[in-house]
Structure 1
C-alpha cells in the first residue's frame, strides 16, 4: 500500500541520507510532510533525524487527547497519566488481556489440576526480571540477530521452511520489522512465507484466530 511504498522507497533512503549527511533541506521537508500525514504525528513531534521509534510513537500519537496507544495492540488506549512505568504490565492492550489469562490459569490450576500454588501467580515481572536480563550468548557475536541463527539452520536443513505471521496493529514486532530482519539475514526466499492479519501481537486472540489457524494448517500440510 501507499504507506509501505513510502517507507521502502522514500523514508528509508532519507534516513540513510541523513546519516550520511547528504539529505537536502528540500528533501527533508518533503519527507517530513509525508511522514506527518501518514503517522498522524504533528511535524513538531518528529525529530531532526526523522526517526520515530515505536515506543515514542505510542506515547505521541494521541498525546493531544491525553492517551497512550498499546504497543501490543495499537487499537487499545489508556490515559498517559499515572502509568506504573512497566512496559508490559502497564501497556494499554496487555492490561485488558492479562486479567483474563490469569483468571483462566487460576481456574485450571485449582479446578482441573487440583494444585495449590501457595503463593500469588506473577503473570508479568518485566521490570523486576527482564530489565536486568543478560541477553548475551556464548559463541555468538554481540547483537547478532536471531534471524541469522535461523538462516544457518535453513542452510543445514534444506527442508526447513518458515512462516512469518504478523499483526498490523503490533508495534512490538511490526510486519515491516519482521520482513527487514528476514531480508537482512538472507533467508532463502522460496522457503519463507509471510501472512499479515488485522491483529495485535497475539494473532490467536479475537477475530483473526480462525484465519491464522487455517494459514498455519495450510503451511504445515505443504
Structure 2
C-alpha cells in the first residue's frame, strides 16, 4: 500500500515537472535572426554602396522580458563618417494588418515589382518582373521598413499578448518603441528622422510622432510623408448618414468618371475637379444638410448636377436620395459594360459574375490584380538577394488583426463614446510642440478609399498650421506609384521635400 502511494506521488511530481517544463518551453525565446548582405545601386545619379539588414528586433516589457518580435529591413549607406548629416526614414504600410511590402517593393526598396502601369492587365501568374529602383532615394536617406506585430515575419513572443499590440494606441506605442531601440542601437540620435506611411500607416505615423515625445525619451521628427492620408475617418468611411463622406468622396468620383470618359469630357482633369470642388462646398453641402426640406425643384437640379459630375443616371441618383455610396458607384459607373471599378484605384476594372450586386462582390480589382505579383516578388527578393531564411511564412496581410483591433483612442478603463477615429488634432499639437517638423501629403485623384478631397478637408481644420503642410496630386489611386509616371513624379516630389 505504501509502495503504491509512493509511486503515485512520484508520478504526480513528475507530471508537475513535465507540465512546468512544457510551459517554460512555450515561453522560451530563441535568439533573434539577422541576415546581412552588401549591395550597390545608382540613385540620384550617384553610386550608393549600402548594407541590407533584414532582422528581428525583440521588444521587451517593463520586466525586461521579450514580448514581440518586430521584423524590419534596413538599407544603410556604407562609409558614412558623419551620421548627423545622413537622414534615416522609417517606412510602413497600413491596414491595420498590412506588412510594408507595398512601399518596399512598389516605391522605395532597391528592387521593384513591375505590374501594368495603365491598370488594364491583371498580374497573372508567375514569373513576375523585378527591376532595379533607379528612382530610389538611397542617395538621400537610409531606409528602415517596419512590419508591425502580426504582419510580415513579426509576431508576439514570450509573455506577449496580441491585445498588447493590436490597437490604435498600442500599435503606435510599439512602433515608437522599435524606432527608439533601432536609433539607439545604431547610434542615430543626431540623424534627421522621417516617417513615411501609407493609408492606415498615416494614422500610425501621427500616433508614433506623438508617442515619440513621451516615455522620458523625447524624439523629435524632421518630417512626415503621408501617402494616401487617413487621419480623420469621417471623411474616408462611406456609410449611410455620414454626411462628411458624401462630400469628401464626390470629387474622387468625378475624377474617376472623367478617367473612364463618363463625365467632364472636353475639360482637363484639374479643371473638372476644381469645378466639382466648388459645387461640393457651395451647393452640395447645403443641400445635404437641408435634407428632406429640399423642394422637388431643388432636388431635381442637384440630381442633374450630380449626374454631370459622376456620370451616373439622374434617375439612379434620385433613387439614392442624392447620396451615392462608394461601393455602389464602383458597380454602377461601368454597369453598361458589366464591369466594376477599383476602390484603391478607380482606374482598375473587374469583370464580375454577378452584374447586379450592391458593390463589387469579387473584391477590389485594384488589389487582387496586383497582389500575387507583390507577394511573390518580395518572397523571391528576400530569398535570392537578401538570403533570408525564416521558419514561417511572410504575411503580406493578416485579416485576423482587423477583427480584433482596438480602435479606442483612450487608455484602458477610460470611458469612450464610439466615434470616427481622428488623429489630426494629435498631429496638430505635435507640430506645434515640434516646430521643425514638416508634412508632405501625397494624394491620388482616383483613390476611392482615402479620397484626395478628404486630405484638403482634414488639413484645413483641426488646428493644423496649413503653411507647414504640402499637398501633391497624382493621376492614379491609393498606391499611385503603380502608375509609372506617378512613381517618377512622387520620387521627385519626395526629393524636393527632403532636400528643401
TM-score interval for Structure 1 and Structure 2 normalised by the shorter chain: 0.7 to 0.9
Q: Distance in 2 between matches of 1:106 and 1:56?
A: 36
**CA deviation vs aligned residue, 1:25-61 (integer Å, no higher than 9, x gap):** 2211111111012101122332454122222211222
Match of 1:10 in 2: 283
Residue 69 of structure 1 and its aligned partner are, at CA, apart by 0.5
Q: 1:65 aligns with which of 337, 340, 345?
A: 337
Match of 1:135 in 2: 407
Query: Which stretch shows the higher mean deviation, 42-51 or 161-170?
Result: 42-51
- Per the alignment, do residues 138 and 77 of structure 1 end up closer, same or farther by CA in structure 2, a change over 3 Å counting? same
Q: 2:481 aligns with which of 178, 183, 204?
A: 204
- Per the alignment, do residues 82 and 133 of structure 1 end up closer, same or farther by CA in structure 2, a change over 3 Å counting? farther
Is 2:458 the counterpart of 1:165? no
- Per the alignment, do residues 48 and 106 of structure 1 end up closer, same or farther by CA in structure 2, a change over 3 Å counting? closer
Aligned pairs for 1:43-192 (under 5 A) are 43-46=314-317, 47-81=319-353, 90-126=363-399, 128-139=400-411, 142=418, 143-192=420-469
Q: How many residue pairs end up in the alignment?
A: 216
Per the alignment, in what secondary structure is the counterpart of residue 193 of structure 1?
strand
Residue 141 of structure 1 and its aligned partner are, at CA, apart by 7.0
CA contact (8 A) 1:164 1:192 kept: yes
Q: Distance in 2 between matches of 1:17 and 1:6?
A: 15
Query: Which stretch shows the higher mean deviation, 138-147 or 32-41?
Result: 138-147
More RCO (CA 8 Å, sep 6+)? 2
CA contact (8 A) 1:63 1:80 kept: no
Per the alignment, in what secondary structure is the counterpart of residue 93 of structure 1?
helix
Match of 2:309 in 1: 38
Q: Distance in 1 between matches of 2:463 and 2:393?
A: 45
- Per the alignment, do residues 23 and 186 of structure 1 end up closer, same or farther by CA in structure 2, a change over 3 Å counting? farther
TM-score computed with the length of structure 1 as normaliser: 0.85
Structure 1 or 2, whichever has the larger Rg, is 2
Per the alignment, in what secondary structure is the counterpart of residue 370 of structure 2?
helix
Q: Distance in 1 between matches of 2:296 and 2:378?
A: 56
Q: Distance in 2 between matches of 1:134 and 1:144?
A: 11
Q: How much is the aligned-residue C-alpha RMSD, in angstroms?
A: 2.5
CA contact (8 A) 1:198 1:208 kept: yes
Q: Distance in 1 between matches of 2:426 and 2:353?
A: 41
Match of 2:63 in 1: none
Q: Distance in 2 between matches of 1:115 and 1:221?
A: 33
Query: Which stretch shows the higher mean deviation, 37-46 or 171-180?
Result: 37-46
Unaligned runs of 5+ in 1: none
Query: Which stretch shows the higher mean deviation, 4-13 or 165-174?
Result: 4-13
Residue 138 of structure 1 and its aligned partner are, at CA, apart by 2.2
Q: Distance in 2 between matches of 1:141 and 1:108?
A: 45
Q: Distance in 2 between matches of 1:148 and 1:187?
A: 8
Per the alignment, in what secondary structure is the counterpart of residue 124 of structure 1?
coil
CA contact (8 A) 2:443 2:478 kept: yes
Q: Distance in 1 between matches of 2:404 and 2:352?
A: 25
Residue 208 of structure 1 and its aligned partner are, at CA, apart by 0.5
Per the alignment, in what secondary structure is the counterpart of residue 323 of structure 2?
coil
Match of 2:75 in 1: none
Per the alignment, in what secondary structure is the counterpart of residue 115 of structure 1?
coil
